[in-house]
Amino acid sequence: MKRRQFVTGVAAAAGVAACSQESVECAGGGSTAQQTFEWNLVTSWPPGLPGLGIGVENLASRIEKASNGRLKIKIFAGGELVPALEVLDAVSRGTVQMGHDSAYYHRGKVPAAQYFTTVPFGQTVHEINAWLYYGGGLELWRELYQPFNVIPFPAGNTGVQMAGWFNKEINSVDDLKGLKMRIPGVGGEVMQRAGASQITVPASEIFTALQTGAIDAAEWVGPYNDIALGLHKAARYYYYPGWHEMGPMLQCTINLDAWNSLPADLQEIVSNVCQAINVDMMAEYTWGNAVALEQIRANPNVELRPLPDDVLRLLKKLSEEVISDMAAKDEWAARIKASFDEFQRIVIPSQRIGELAYMNAREL
């Protein structure tokens, strides 16, 4: 029923503004100040999921409020209108006007897109924001997506994640061999090179796959979201740190034809709200992860463990190989890697003297 209603609406609107009945100017092709827009937004997330799902709801409601109701956005959770991992395709085709997901879900089609979520042992949330907003990263991202008729916006971040939930102990690199693990992106390819089987399933299927033994391990996000999916009930061992995702960016994508149909003031509102959500979501995760981790630490059925150093060394070595191979095969990946690596080169000493030194001092 939702699909039939939606298709009928899109056929009539096609992502272009519908004039307000009260606007005489609009009927005559004059001012766009009274135009109203009704858009549809698809996501990869289960409905109401803390952080990711709530962030999208806040994005839509804030745009509607800031625009005084001139731009209304209807949200479809992952799988309701399009498959959870096909958000970018739907936005590109104009099936919907907006999407919210992770760029690395589409690395099979756009290998360099991985950089606009995260790469293993890459940048933290503060670092990737700096690179995107001030280091030229956002310009590269938009140029990369232009052939797909899509304009991307940073729209959320979870901060450093966890290595994941395991039903098998990881005591050495040998324990990675034969492991069946849900882990997307470059991190998944790294695990394959380490001897594991990389499996990609949407969030809604992780719990069942882990509980039934279809997979041995799964990374999702971190304590806040992992508890929401009940993963602490499906696996015993909870490993850290999230070597593969230390500052994963979420993307809001907008069909370019729909974007160009907006007047300049609504474009500015959308852009500003995306940036506000980018900040707000990180604040929510910092709070939510702290609260949820306390619950996990108190759970006698969960063992919180660090990954062994030899495992992390192997994963870092393999990550460098995978990223270098990607850059060698893809011109866009090489171009973005050069910009990303140059900023990381100068930001690491800065963070070591600032953030890391303070964190160490606080523990004295």
Asked if residue 331 is part of any domain, the answer here is no
Residue 141 shares a structural domain with residue 15: yes
Residue 27 shares a structural domain with residue 99: yes
Dist CA 320 CA 294 (whole Å): 34
Asked if residue 71 is part of any domain, the answer here is yes
Nearest one of 119, 124, 120 to 356, comparing CA atoms: 124
What is the average per-residue pLDDT within 234-241?
97
Residue 255 shares a structural domain with residue 238: no
Rounded mean pLDDT of the chain? Answer: 91
| Tally of structural domains, the chain | 2
For residue 134, count CB atoms less than 10 angstroms from its CB and return exposed for 0-12, middle for 13-18, buried for 19 or more.
exposed
| CB half-sphere exposure, 98, CA atoms < 13 A | 27
State the pTM of this model: 0.87
Q: Locate all alpha helices (DSSP H) within the chain, ordered by sequence.
A: 2-13, 24-27, 52-66, 87-93, 125-134, 137-145, 185-193, 203-212, 223-228, 256-261, 264-297, 309-329, 331-351, 357-362
Expressed as residue numbers, the domain containing 135 is 2-156+247-287
pLDDT at 27 > cutoff 80: no
Residue 212 shares a structural domain with residue 260: no
Instruction: Tell me the backbone φ, ψ of residue 162, rounded to 5 degrees.
Output: -100, 160
Asked if residue 37 is part of any domain, the answer here is yes
Residue 70 shares a structural domain with residue 7: yes
Asked if residue 264 is part of any domain, the answer here is yes
The token pair that represents 113 in the structure block: 């897109």
Asked if residue 263 is part of any domain, the answer here is yes
pLDDT in tens, 307-343: 999 999 999 999 999 999 999 999 999 999 999 999 9
Q: Which pLDDT value is given to residue 34?
A: 81
Return the minimum-mean-pLDDT range out of 20-29, 123-132, 249-258: 20-29
Q: How confident is the model at residue 241 (pLDDT cuts 50, 70, 90)?
A: very high
What is the average per-residue pLDDT within 346-352?
97
Dist CA 206 CA 245 (whole Å): 18
The token pair that represents 46 in the structure block: 């289960």
pLDDT in tens, 34-83: 899 999 999 999 888 899 999 999 999 999 999 999 999 999 999 999 99
Domain ends where: 235, 263, 287?
287
Residue 266 shares a structural domain with residue 197: no
Strand 164-166 versus strand 237-240 pairing type: antiparallel
pLDDT in tens, 190-217: 999 999 999 988 888 999 999 999 999 9
Q: In what order do the strands lie in the sheet with 217-218?
A: 197-199, 180-182, 217-218, 164-166, 237-240, 303-306
Q: Which pLDDT value is given to residue 33?
A: 63
Asked if residue 38 is part of any domain, the answer here is yes
What is the average per-residue pLDDT within 220-233?
95
CATH number at residue 219: 3.40.190.10
The three-state (H, E, C) secondary structure of 227-246, written as one string: HHCCHHHCCCEEEECCCCCC
Nearest one of 194, 172, 178 to 322, comparing CA atoms: 194
| CB half-sphere exposure, 186, CA atoms < 13 A | 33
Q: Answer whether 307's CB lies under 8 Å from 173's CB.
A: no
Q: How confident is the model at residue 176 (pLDDT cuts 50, 70, 90)?
A: very high
∠ CA 149-73-131, nearest 5°, is 55
Residue 42 shares a structural domain with residue 56: yes
Nearest one of 55, 17, 41 to 90, comparing CA atoms: 41
Q: Which pLDDT value is given to residue 15?
A: 43
| Owner of token pair 């660090």 | 306
pLDDT at 7 > cutoff 80: no
Nearest one of 91, 20, 187, 122 to 343, comparing CA atoms: 122
Q: Answer whether 142's CB lies under 8 Å from 205's CB.
A: no
Q: Which pLDDT value is given to residue 264?
A: 97
CATH number at residue 100: 3.40.190.170
Asked if residue 363 is part of any domain, the answer here is no
Residue 60 shares a structural domain with residue 111: yes
Residue 257 shares a structural domain with residue 214: no
Q: CA-based Rg of the chain, rounded to a whole angstrom?
A: 21
Residue 73 shares a structural domain with residue 107: yes
Residue 107 shares a structural domain with residue 167: no
Instruction: Tell me the backbone φ, ψ of residue 51, rounded to 5 degrees.
Output: 80, -85
Partners of 198 in the β-ladder: 181
Q: How confident is the model at residue 1 (pLDDT cuts 50, 70, 90)?
A: very low
Dist CA 169 CA 306 (whole Å): 11
Dist CA 152 CA 124 (whole Å): 20
Q: How confident is the model at residue 32 (pLDDT cuts 50, 70, 90)?
A: low
pLDDT at 163 > cutoff 60: yes
Asked if residue 325 is part of any domain, the answer here is no
Name residues whose C-beta falls within 8 Å of residue 140's C-beta, 6 or more positions apart in sequence: 335, 336, 339
Residue 73 shares a structural domain with residue 149: yes
Q: Answer whether 202's CB lies under 8 Å from 85's CB.
A: yes
